[in-house]
Amino acid sequence: MPTTTYDNTGVPIDDEGFFTDPARWTEPMAEQIAKEAGIDALTDRHWIVIRFMRDQYAAKGTGPTVRVLGKVSGVSVKELYQLFPKGPAKTAAKIAGIPKPRGCI
Protein backbone atom coordinates (compact mmCIF):
# COMPACT_ATOMS: atom_id res chain seq x y z
CA MET A 1 0.00 0.00 0.00
CA PRO A 2 1.37 3.46 -0.89
CA THR A 3 2.29 5.94 1.81
CA THR A 4 2.85 9.65 1.72
CA THR A 5 4.08 12.29 4.15
CA TYR A 6 1.99 15.10 5.59
CA ASP A 7 3.10 17.27 8.51
CA ASN A 8 6.31 15.21 8.72
CA THR A 9 4.35 12.03 9.38
CA GLY A 10 4.05 9.04 7.06
CA VAL A 11 0.45 8.01 6.35
CA PRO A 12 -0.98 5.11 4.32
CA ILE A 13 -3.17 6.15 1.38
CA ASP A 14 -4.96 4.34 -1.45
CA ASP A 15 -4.12 4.58 -5.16
CA GLU A 16 -6.18 7.74 -5.53
CA GLY A 17 -4.64 9.44 -2.50
CA PHE A 18 -7.42 8.90 0.06
CA PHE A 19 -6.45 8.08 3.65
CA THR A 20 -7.03 4.44 4.50
CA ASP A 21 -6.62 5.07 8.22
CA PRO A 22 -8.51 8.25 9.23
CA ALA A 23 -7.06 8.05 12.76
CA ARG A 24 -3.68 9.12 11.35
CA TRP A 25 -5.07 12.47 10.18
CA THR A 26 -4.33 15.67 12.05
CA GLU A 27 -5.66 19.17 11.39
CA PRO A 28 -2.30 20.60 10.24
CA MET A 29 -2.25 18.01 7.44
CA ALA A 30 -5.43 19.47 5.92
CA GLU A 31 -3.83 22.66 4.55
CA GLN A 32 -1.19 20.63 2.79
CA ILE A 33 -3.65 18.16 1.24
CA ALA A 34 -5.84 21.10 0.18
CA LYS A 35 -2.92 22.74 -1.65
CA GLU A 36 -2.32 19.50 -3.54
CA ALA A 37 -5.99 19.55 -4.52
CA GLY A 38 -5.65 23.09 -5.87
CA ILE A 39 -7.19 24.94 -2.91
CA ASP A 40 -4.84 27.66 -1.71
CA ALA A 41 -6.28 28.44 1.70
CA LEU A 42 -8.89 26.77 3.85
CA THR A 43 -11.57 29.17 5.10
CA ASP A 44 -14.02 28.69 7.98
CA ARG A 45 -16.58 27.52 5.40
CA HIS A 46 -14.17 24.81 4.21
CA TRP A 47 -13.65 23.74 7.80
CA ILE A 48 -17.40 23.37 8.42
CA VAL A 49 -17.46 20.84 5.59
CA ILE A 50 -14.23 19.08 6.63
CA ARG A 51 -15.43 18.59 10.22
CA PHE A 52 -18.82 17.43 8.97
CA MET A 53 -17.12 14.85 6.73
CA ARG A 54 -15.20 13.45 9.69
CA ASP A 55 -18.28 13.34 11.93
CA GLN A 56 -20.31 11.53 9.26
CA TYR A 57 -17.50 9.07 8.67
CA ALA A 58 -17.27 8.36 12.40
CA ALA A 59 -21.04 7.83 12.60
CA LYS A 60 -21.66 5.93 9.37
CA GLY A 61 -18.40 4.46 8.19
CA THR A 62 -18.50 6.38 4.89
CA GLY A 63 -18.36 10.02 3.87
CA PRO A 64 -21.58 11.69 2.65
CA THR A 65 -22.48 12.39 -0.98
CA VAL A 66 -22.73 15.97 -2.29
CA ARG A 67 -26.52 15.82 -2.05
CA VAL A 68 -26.40 14.82 1.60
CA LEU A 69 -23.74 17.44 2.29
CA GLY A 70 -25.95 20.09 0.69
CA LYS A 71 -28.92 18.99 2.78
CA VAL A 72 -27.37 18.75 6.21
CA SER A 73 -23.91 20.35 6.43
CA GLY A 74 -25.28 23.90 6.40
CA VAL A 75 -23.45 24.66 3.12
CA SER A 76 -25.52 24.61 -0.10
CA VAL A 77 -24.49 22.43 -3.06
CA LYS A 78 -23.77 25.58 -5.08
CA GLU A 79 -21.38 26.90 -2.42
CA LEU A 80 -19.84 23.45 -1.99
CA TYR A 81 -18.79 23.55 -5.64
CA GLN A 82 -17.36 27.04 -5.13
CA LEU A 83 -15.35 25.81 -2.14
CA PHE A 84 -14.26 22.53 -3.72
CA PRO A 85 -14.52 23.08 -7.49
CA LYS A 86 -13.28 19.65 -8.51
CA GLY A 87 -16.08 17.67 -6.85
CA PRO A 88 -16.90 18.50 -3.22
CA ALA A 89 -17.55 15.00 -1.83
CA LYS A 90 -14.28 13.55 -3.09
CA THR A 91 -12.07 16.58 -2.49
CA ALA A 92 -13.44 17.25 0.99
CA ALA A 93 -13.04 13.58 1.89
CA LYS A 94 -9.43 13.69 0.81
CA ILE A 95 -8.71 16.85 2.80
CA ALA A 96 -10.59 15.45 5.82
CA GLY A 97 -8.44 12.32 5.76
CA ILE A 98 -11.23 9.80 5.27
CA PRO A 99 -11.57 7.05 2.63
CA LYS A 100 -13.27 7.77 -0.72
CA PRO A 101 -17.05 8.03 -0.17
CA ARG A 102 -18.73 4.86 -1.34
CA GLY A 103 -21.72 6.56 -2.96
CA CYS A 104 -24.61 4.55 -4.23
CA ILE A 105 -25.44 2.59 -7.33
- The residue ranges that bind another protein (CB under 8 A) are 64-68, 71-72, 77-78, 80-81, 85-87, 102-105
Q: How far is the CB of 7 from another protein (least distance, A)?
A: 30
DSSP secondary structure string for all residues of 35-93: HHTT-----HHHHHHHHHHHHHHHHHSSPPPHHHHHHHSSS-HHHHHHHSTT-HHHHHH
Q: Is 87 a catalytic residue?
A: no
* Cβ-based nearer residue to another protein, 3 or 58: 58
The answer for residues whose C-beta is within 8 angstroms of residue 68's C-beta and 6 or more apart is 56
Please, what is the minimum distance in Å from the beta carbon of residue 8 to another protein?
33
Nearer to another protein, 16 or 27 (CB): 16
